[in-house]
């Protein structure tokens, strides 16, 4: 699901809620989200389990997305949180989804405004309020496990 990073004025950002946004584990995580990321202030959104940063919105966070299955897509561990990272159709936009957490978090961000390292580091403490039950494996680790 693509998330358009737009919005005008400092009003509320329209964001589509994730399938499991009402999961009770989303609430403490969303309350723990930072007030700003990469000099982009947090903004109100129209849906439960979501938040956005910047005016116009340069980053959107959704809690309750379907946890990703094992994949060969790039997976990186950032401060104890595993993220599957994918480019979107927009060359300046990336999407990162937590791996091994249920509910999962999806972050879509404009890399010209919010660097991936800053986005994922700054979200770490909020995301870790949801327990991790699986982790990314390197190719060698995956081969050893089989």
- CATH number, domain containing residue 57: 3.40.1000
How confident is the model over 14-35, as a mean pLDDT? 97
pLDDT above 70 for 142: no
Whether 71 maps to a domain, the answer reads yes
pLDDT band at residue 98 under the 50/70/90 scheme: very high
Whether 140 maps to a domain, the answer reads no
Whether 142 maps to a domain, the answer reads no
CA 40 – CA 53 distance, rounded (Å): 5
Whether 4 maps to a domain, the answer reads no
pLDDT band at residue 23 under the 50/70/90 scheme: very high
How confident is the model over 82-107, as a mean pLDDT? 95
Q: Which of 29, 19, 68 is nearest to 51 (CA)?
A: 29
* Per-residue pLDDT tens digits for 121-130: 999 999 999 9
How confident is the model over 23-36, as a mean pLDDT? 97
Whether 80 maps to a domain, the answer reads yes
The mean predicted confidence, pLDDT, of the chain is: 89
Whether 20 maps to a domain, the answer reads no
- Rounded to two decimals, the pTM is 0.87
Output the CA–CA distances (angstroms, integers) from residue 128 to 59, 65, 136, in the order listed: 19, 16, 15
Structural domain span for residue 75: 26-135
Taking CA 8 as the corner, what is the angle to CA 89 and CA 120, rounded to the nearest 5 degrees?
50
What phi and psi, each to the nearest 5 degrees, are found at residue 119?
-60, -50
What percent of the chain has pLDDT above 70?
87
Number of domains in the chain: 1
Whether 110 maps to a domain, the answer reads yes
pLDDT above 80 for 95: yes
What pLDDT score was predicted for residue 11? Answer: 85
Whether 49 maps to a domain, the answer reads yes
Structure tokens at 102: 């249920």
């Amino acid at each position: 699901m693509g998330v358009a990073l737009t919005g005008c004025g400092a009003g509320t950002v329209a964001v589509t809620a994730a399938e499991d946004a009402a999961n009770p584990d989303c609430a403490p995580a969303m309350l723990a989200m930072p007030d700003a990321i990469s000099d982009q202030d947090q903004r109100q959104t129209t849906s439960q389990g979501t938040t956005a940063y910047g005016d116009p919105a340069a980053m959107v966070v959704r809690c309750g997305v379907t946890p990703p299955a094992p994949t060969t897509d790039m997976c990186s561990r950032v401060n104890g949180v595993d993220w599957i990272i994918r480019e979107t159709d927009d060359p300046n936009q990336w999407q990162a989804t937590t791996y091994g957490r249920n509910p999962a978090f999806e972050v879509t961000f404009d890399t010209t405004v919010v660097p991936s390292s800053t986005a994922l580091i700054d979200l770490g403490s909020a995301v870790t309020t949801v327990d991790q039950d699986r982790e990314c494996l390197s190719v060698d680790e995956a081969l050893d496990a089989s």
